[in-house]
Amino acid sequence: MIDLRMIIYAAVSVCWLVAPLFLGNYHTDVLNNIAIYALLGLSLNIILGYGGMFHMGHAAFFAIGAYATAIINTSYGIPVLWLLPLSGILAGVFALVVARPIIHLRGDYLLIVTIGMVEIVRIALVNNVFGLTGGANGIFGIASPTIFGHQINGIVNPKHYFYLLTAFLAFTITVFYLLEHSRFGRALKFLSSDSVAAEGSGIDTSGYKLAAFVIGAFWAGMVGNLYAGKITFISPESFSFWESVVMFMIVILGGAGSIPGVLLGAFLIIGLPEYFHGLQQYRLLIFGFALVAMMIFRPQGILPPKQHTYATDNASEKKVSS
Amino acid sequence: MSLLRVENVVKFFGGLMAVGDVSFDVPQGCVFGLIGPNGAGKTTVFNLITGNYNLDKGKILYKDEEITGMPTHRVVTRGIARTFQNIRLFSNMSVLENVLAGCHCRMSAGPISAMLRLPKQRAEERAAVARAIEELSFAGLEAQAGNLARNLSYGNQRLLEIARALASNPGLIILDEPAGGMNEYETTSLVNLIERIRKRGITIMLIEHDMSLVMRSCEHIVVLEHGRKIAEGIPSVIKSDPRVIEAYLGSDEDDI
Amino acid sequence: MSLNLEPYTSKSLMEQFFTQLTNGLAVGGIYALIALGYTMVYGVLKLINFAHGDLFTIGAYLGLTLLASFHLADHLGVATALFVLALMVMGLVGIIGILLDRVAYKPLRTSPRLSAVVSALGASIIFSNTIMLVFGPSPKVYPQGLLPTQVLYIFGLPIPIMRLLILLASIVMMIGLYVFIQKTKTGTAIRAAAIDQDAARLMGINVDRVIMLVFFIGPALGGVAGLMVGLHYGQINFTMGWIYGLKAFTAAILGGIGNIPGAMVGGLLLGVIESMGAAYISNAWKDAIAFFVLIVILIVRPTGLLGERVAEKI
């Protein structure tokens, strides 16, 4: 069983890596979008999947990373990739400030407050807050990233950008996998399963909820940086409430708390409609039906998380199917 | 010496007094029983000690340090672990993972050391798993380690809650109706388990409706009625206290 | 900043304030009608019906379709036509509400509460996209000239008669609902089911029927609010439901969710706050005002103005 799973993962990875060799620029750009949303989905998964917090304002953190990159790059000419950590830090600090008073809210209230948060951020961007964000028109002329003097232009040559994104995606998958199977990841799963029991077992539930928000936002901010460097022009449109809904759907439909699930979700929701152009206008309708049907028939998502087995000295541990 | 001291504790829910001016001491190393008819405020007292509720008046001291109003996870870290009356396990996680929850507060690795997989973090993980297996063996659940918690029998779920609490390395363990829903055989092994916990040097405080268990296990008993303490002493004294008898006869016999 | 400080006399300042007040009350009445749907469903099922805003949109589009296809105004005269139209919209949207519950929520009664929330989100997406596919993505316009455009003067202060009618209509419906809930046997059954479904069932109350009724009344009021927005503002679009829905939800929270008078007070209050904020603080931040109110109230007093605190049982 495990072997088969590994073979599938390996085959999918190889296909992903060689795909741009056989695809034109347009379809490679679709892969780039899948990678961006996969990254966003994985960062949201920390909050929504492991932490079980119904957060529908993730686009706000994404926006802060992208705008931080755009503003600093266009005003001071600092190279985009140098701003990667700073974009993450600014988004993380924002999350720390806004999430602190709301993390104790019950699931459905949290959902609606985070919608309010992302809308306020969007309205602030449209209103050209502090005279920095360029209002409804956004910011033009963001430089493409350069690596060792080699420019990686996401528009002219999406294939180069594909490998930049893929490298970051591989890094993200690795560290998030390690995070999932650690004291930190377990604490989030405990508190989402039963927060009273988690607190009663000695877990600082508020602290961990906040930490999940900060890490998720930090990552979304970094993805914002890569996104700004890719399309070189950003506007408030790209960070609306609907973007948050799309990220939310990727996690819920793919499988909350499951890295392979989120990756599959990003492919289905971002990639599939691009390859079936006739379905484009029915895209959201189909996703709406999928959400309802999924909750009724398979609430854990398409690829739910697998039971983790721990290496023990005790041979009595049995494998269970969940 | 008293390990836990409850001083003049008062708790209101809305206008209703759930606990009124209750004081008692839990001596180190003892098995301490808190009994009383339904609705007497026993679980509320537990929730006040563990910080699940904030108290309106009074003080709670553990090892002579004030823990009044401390958040629950810090109370646990100080050394007071608990189980719940209506079992609260992480039902979709494995039995082993449930016990690892108890180990949490004795570990220190943060997200960054996990992401970097530092050697110290890996050693700590291994130690925690070994510790969890130890507690499972202590509670007689080692064979169930890989099963999902929700697939355990009712009695075993209660034992798993105890194992989880023990994994936090407590000085005081608070058991809220540990024998609830257990059959006679399971209750007997529970009495045995309580004795083995005490032998580890852990003080035990319990709420229980099964009077034979209380009289067999507890060395010291406090009786609550309508949120007030009406009696306190060793089991033989409590058994013959007229106020206790009246409190119990006045309530529904089946609850005793 | 839209605040113009230059040439106002004290009278025109007063007039401006009064205009904002009546405007706020009219919009607030509409928020209150929608909020009632959130609050009633929440009261009985403890579920936030995220698709409720889209039922409001459906009401607006159905109103327009019925108005245009039957030439109601020509046959019946304007007043009767609008009354019939309102009843038709209420009935149809109410039925859609019942169907929504049957398909998207009923199978999830025993699931974790958040499953139903996700399902509601899915239903909301289905509704808004169906409207877009049927009526097209561009805004639609209600026929003009149907309604009175006169302006009444109260103590010399102007109030457009339409605003007054909107406010009166919503208040009449709210009072009607309140009397129904408080005084009738069915209303008592709804209140009982809201307090404790199991106990209500044991008392012989048909809880499924109560839920059905709630999913009829709430959407019916939301639908008629959509019709009123179409008639009053003239223009409707397929995404209007979510912004009105969010604001009405804010109104329900503001008043105390699950509490019917709370929804009314919250709606009117939010309408006025928003209208005043747009006039005296900043028009560009108008939509953000409601969200600020929402966030502040949930942080400071999640039970709302008229709600009660309930301790969580451990």
A314 lies in some domain: no
**pLDDT of A153:** 85
Number of folded domains that form chain A: 1
What percentage of chain C exceeds 90 in pLDDT?
Answer: 49
Q: How many CB pairs under 8 A join A and C?
A: 108
Same domain, B61 and B103: no
* Rounded-to-integer distance, Cα A285 and Cα A291, Å: 10
Q: What are phi and psi of B82, to 5 degrees?
A: -145, 165
Same domain, B73 and B179: yes
Q: For residue C11, what pLDDT band results from cuts at 50, 70 and 90?
A: low
> Quick check: B32 contacting C, CB < 8 Å?
no
**pLDDT of A98:** 94
Partner chains of A (3+ C-beta pairs under 8 Å): B, C
Same domain, B47 and B126: no
**pLDDT of B98:** 97
**pLDDT of A317:** 42
Q: For residue C99, what pLDDT band results from cuts at 50, 70 and 90?
A: very high
> Quick check: B119 contacting A, CB < 8 Å?
no
> Quick check: B245 contacting A, CB < 8 Å?
no
**Interface subset of C 252-311, CB within 8 angstroms of B:** 311
**pLDDT of A194:** 93
User: Which residue is it, tokens 């304002």?
Assistant: A57
The ipTM value here is 0.91
Q: For residue B249, what pLDDT band results from cuts at 50, 70 and 90?
A: low
Closest-approach residue (CA) in chain C for A197: C314
CB contact under 8 A, C126 and A105: no
Same domain, B177 and B231: yes
CB contact under 8 A, C104 and A124: no
**Interface subset of B 182-221, CB within 8 angstroms of A:** none
Q: B49: closest CA among B92, B87, B4?
A: B4
pLDDT at C246 exceeding the cut of 70: yes
Q: How far is A260 from chain B (nearest CA, A)?
A: 18
A317 lies in some domain: no
Q: What are phi and psi of B21, to 5 degrees?
A: 50, 55
**pLDDT of C2:** 43
**pLDDT of B58:** 94
* Rounded-to-integer distance, Cα A271 and Cα B235, Å: 71
Q: For residue B253, what pLDDT band results from cuts at 50, 70 and 90?
A: very low
Same domain, B57 and B127: no
A184 lies in some domain: yes
**pLDDT of C195:** 86
Q: For residue A211, what pLDDT band results from cuts at 50, 70 and 90?
A: very high
**pLDDT of A316:** 42
The residue segments making up the domain with residue A156 are: 22-241
Q: Three-state DSSP class for C110?
A: coil
B57 lies in some domain: yes
Output the six-digit token pair for B178. 């540990």
**Interface subset of A 208-227, CB within 8 angstroms of B:** 211, 215
Q: Which amino acid is at A243?
A: E
A297 lies in some domain: no
> Quick check: B148 contacting A, CB < 8 Å?
yes
> What is the arithmetic mean of pLDDT over C102-117?
90
**pLDDT of C279:** 86
> Quick check: B61 contacting A, CB < 8 Å?
no
Same domain, B68 and B184: yes
**DSSP β-ladder status, B172-176 and B2-13:** unpaired
**DSSP β-ladder status, B2-13 and B57-62:** antiparallel
Q: How many CB pairs under 8 A join A and B?
A: 135
Q: Three-state DSSP class for C141?
A: strand
> Quick check: C314 contacting B, CB < 8 Å?
yes
pLDDT at C267 exceeding the cut of 50: yes
A130 lies in some domain: yes
**pLDDT of B203:** 96
The residue segments making up the domain with residue B116 are: 92-169
Q: Which of A291-300, C92-101, C295-304 has the highest mean pLDDT?
A: C92-101
Low-confidence winner among A92-101, B73-82, C231-240 (lowest mean pLDDT): C231-240
**pLDDT of B95:** 96
Q: What is the largest CA-CA distance in chain A?
A: 65
Asked if A195 contacts C313 with a C-beta cutoff of 8 angstroms, the reply is no
pLDDT at C3 exceeding the cut of 70: no
Q: How far is C92 from chain A (nearest CA, A)?
A: 22
> What is the arithmetic mean of pLDDT over B139-154?
94
A302 lies in some domain: no
* Rounded-to-integer distance, Cα B246 and Cα B235, Å: 16
* Contact residues on chain C for B43, CB-CB shorter than 8 A: 314
> What is the arithmetic mean of pLDDT over A86-104?
95
B196 lies in some domain: yes
Q: From chain C, which residues contact A within 8 Å (Cβ)? A: 47-48, 103-104, 107-108, 111-119, 121-127, 129-130, 133, 242, 246, 249, 253, 284-285, 287-288, 291-292, 294-295, 298-299, 302, 314
**CATH code: domain of residue B58:** 3.40.50.300
Same domain, B116 and B150: yes
**pLDDT of B25:** 95
**Mean pLDDT score of chain C, rounded to an integer?**
87
CB contact under 8 A, B84 and C314: yes
> What is the arithmetic mean of pLDDT over A302-312?
82
**pLDDT of C310:** 52
* pLDDT (tens digit per residue) in B113-146: 999 999 999 999 999 999 999 999 999 999 999 9
pLDDT at C48 exceeding the cut of 80: yes
* pLDDT (tens digit per residue) in B155-199: 999 999 999 999 999 999 999 999 988 888 999 999 999 999 999
Q: What is the rounded end-to-end Cα distance, in angstroms, of chain C? A: 50
> What is the arithmetic mean of pLDDT over C197-211?
91
Q: How far is B147 from chain A (nearest CA, A)?
A: 6
Give the domains, in start order, of chain C with CATH numbers. 28-300 (1.10.3470)
Q: Which amino acid is at B125?
A: E
Same domain, B127 and B175: no
Q: Report H helices in chain A.
A: 2-22, 25-45, 58-76, 84-99, 107-126, 158-180, 183-193, 195-200, 205-231, 241-254, 259-266, 272-275, 283-297
**Mean pLDDT score of chain B, rounded to an integer?**
91
B85 lies in some domain: no
CB contact under 8 A, C295 and A116: yes
Q: Which amino acid is at B134?
A: E
pTM of the model: 0.91
User: Which residue is it, tokens 């004030």?
Assistant: B66
Output the six-digit token pair for C80. 């009767």
